[in-house]
Structure 1
């Protein structure tokens, strides 16, 4: 397939030849090509497709009426709000999950790492809903499912066997959450997480909302286990925003350790009261940084619209980015950065000027966007989009093909 007249990362117009799911050739745009030859990019921007590496598909209310927010503060209060309400939604959970994933694809996301809450209340019901959507839409999107103990591992007896069963059934990431703050036994919590990950040869992703020095302590324990078990390149910290609020020396030490162990960071670009992690510094330290939307208009919050381009704008805004180079770097994080978390065979972003993903031999997962520049596309967040996955069009103008 030929994709004519597109501008990779806003550069000069080219024609892309796609073959066997890869970019097979790149040539300067030839305006004399027949109009019927392939896809007319109309001078649009071409970027790698978006990668949402932190989303809770299992709690979505996308497409349903807005409801009053009834959650109490804190992780446990929010979890109980979801637990008390998710079964009573207007549409069954499998339909909600599939509909949300379809909308994400339509907006340009072709790689997704989704949490699936597993506890003694929902058991495997949420996991099965995410698994069904993954299998149904496998031709249009890559989905990794995380076995996630949203209610902790130790607070409710019987949780761990359900988590292990999900790993047997196809979950490819083992999750953990606030080892100190929630379960109040970080050693036992992380022992279980890493033991299951090692047993089933899956990645680890630790949800970390903990404040300051608790977050630092949990992170040091994660690093210790990553090194001891030889799991370099297989561990992610999600949120972990408080690591930017400890001393500068401690933050620098954490970043150096994450880079050395190839521990990645997934952010949802929250508005925090303290310092944000410096994205340029993290990239310079060799840390893979990815972006996600978190919840989608669910029982935790009314935010989320299935559009990672909107969340790219939020990433740039919350980090105070204004220069084109840095806003484009935010777009690189939202696309290639997340892809490198899901597939550690992909190179890490090397600097704030690195614009990978559109070279000969790269996977033909692309999103075509209207915009004069990458920065303008992030600011305008238009609906004129074409989404290509494995060399074929899977969505156009926000509709699945």
Structure 2
């Protein structure tokens, strides 16, 4: 058996300490086992006992805003990071100043920088949000679509047309979402909780679903991102998903108000999420509240972690390094045992792929040949050290940034 690429002397998360070989043919994993024939392989990578896993998946990144913190100032950080997150809406209004000068020409340079970091850190799939509204117009979307094509062999960018300032409260934003979909945006975004009334929140969701159905697109919405247990847009989203038959095609981001839910209401929401097959992406490092990640995972919800921001008005750090995000999440979620860390690792690999609707992201014969050879022998040390991988494999090719 000849392979286009063979990774030998590899540990996997489930190999019981044995060293295996991973044979790749084209863009797929052809075989996994001990002592696969090396002869005839076009390229051989010796993992030398390092851990080899599925590559990393970033379920949430505002890619059009990366590296804009110094352009917009720091007042939004104070508003967004207040202990109860009561100023989250104010922070969004403050952060929107960056869009006064939005231009594809400078946005694309920032996006390229972030995509090169994704390559360095083995982050091969990103759900990338682009503000698409009456301020940003289509400048961010155009930059992200351009980057999607430039980096298509290195990172899969799912471009989300995102009405950051609302739909009802920003008349005209819906038209820009439509134009973005016509340009080729992959996912319909939304942020219903930012509307002023429950009726407007429902209208926001209804309008975005209408576009999703018309263009046959998945849906990804920022939900209840404030310290208000009275917010109900997650429930609205789940009910709408069931009504429209969009199960498995919807992802909710943040859902921070969940941290304040009373237990009976949380259990109701959990049942709706399960029934609607909604994925949920949490970003605990970018705000003082977060969704109940462990409870969601234990209940079978496709929960994931996201980078969310890189040096923008909401978060001053970030390297598109999902092992770094995992390291922070271990502390913030108090998931510090070795078994907890295995779960955290799922949230940046296999579980994250499920949340984003990525099929075949699993290290087994027939799976996608999107892999990382880590500079560690196990998950514990990989998260602890959160170094760039030794090798990054995308679509069956070694794309390690030299």
Between 1:202-211 and 1:124-133, the stretch displaced more is: 202-211
Structure 1 equivalent of residue 345 of structure 2: 331
- Quick check: 1:53 aligned with 2:55? no
Structure 2 equivalent of residue 349 of structure 1: none
Question: Equivalent of 2:106, from 61, 86, 92?
Answer: 92
Unaligned runs of 5+ in 2: 80-86
Q: Residues of 2 paired with 1:294 and 1:51: CA distance?
A: 12
CA deviations on 1:187-215 (whole Å, 9 max, x unpaired) are: 21111111111111111112121444433
Structure 2 equivalent of residue 375 of structure 1: 380
SS at match of 1:315: helix
Between 1:176-185 and 1:331-340, the stretch displaced more is: 176-185
Conserved? CA contact 2:372–2:389, under 8 Å: no
Q: Residues of 2 paired with 1:197 and 1:269: CA distance?
A: 28
Trace 1:11-26 onto structure 2 (pairs within 5 A).
Answer: 11=15, 12-26=18-32
- Quick check: 1:249 aligned with 2:254? no
- Structure 1 residue 10, shift from structure 2 partner: 6.7
Conserved? CA contact 1:367–1:387, under 8 Å: yes
Q: Residues of 1 paired with 2:67 and 2:185: CA distance?
A: 23
Q: Residues of 2 paired with 1:392 and 1:163: CA distance?
A: 35
Conserved? CA contact 2:130–2:140, under 8 Å: yes
- Quick check: 1:232 aligned with 2:219? no
Q: Residues of 2 paired with 1:263 and 1:7: CA distance?
A: 32
Between 1:182-191 and 1:232-241, the stretch displaced more is: 182-191
CA deviations on 1:24-66 (whole Å, 9 max, x unpaired) are: 111225799899961111211111000011001100118x979
Question: Equivalent of 1:173, from 187, 204, 208?
Answer: 187
CA deviations on 1:274-320 (whole Å, 9 max, x unpaired) are: 675142x3233221112211111123331211211100111221110
**1:363 to 1:275, Cα distance in 2 relative to 1, 3 A:** closer
Q: How many residues in Structure 1 have an aligned counterpart in Structure 2?
A: 384
Structure 2 equivalent of residue 387 of structure 1: 392
**1:240 to 1:260, Cα distance in 2 relative to 1, 3 A:** same
Conserved? CA contact 1:153–1:160, under 8 Å: yes
Structure 2 equivalent of residue 351 of structure 1: none
Unaligned runs of 5+ in 1: 347-355
Conserved? CA contact 2:11–2:377, under 8 Å: no
Root-mean-square deviation (Å): 2.7
TM-score, length-scaled by structure 1: 0.88
Conserved? CA contact 2:132–2:176, under 8 Å: yes
Query: Which structure 1 residue ranges, 4+ long, deviate > 6 Å from structure 2?
Result: 30-36, 64-67
Question: Equivalent of 2:33, from 27, 33, 51?
Answer: 27
Structure 2 equivalent of residue 8 of structure 1: 12
Question: Equivalent of 1:137, from 151, 163, 167?
Answer: 151
- Structure 1 residue 244, shift from structure 2 partner: 3.2
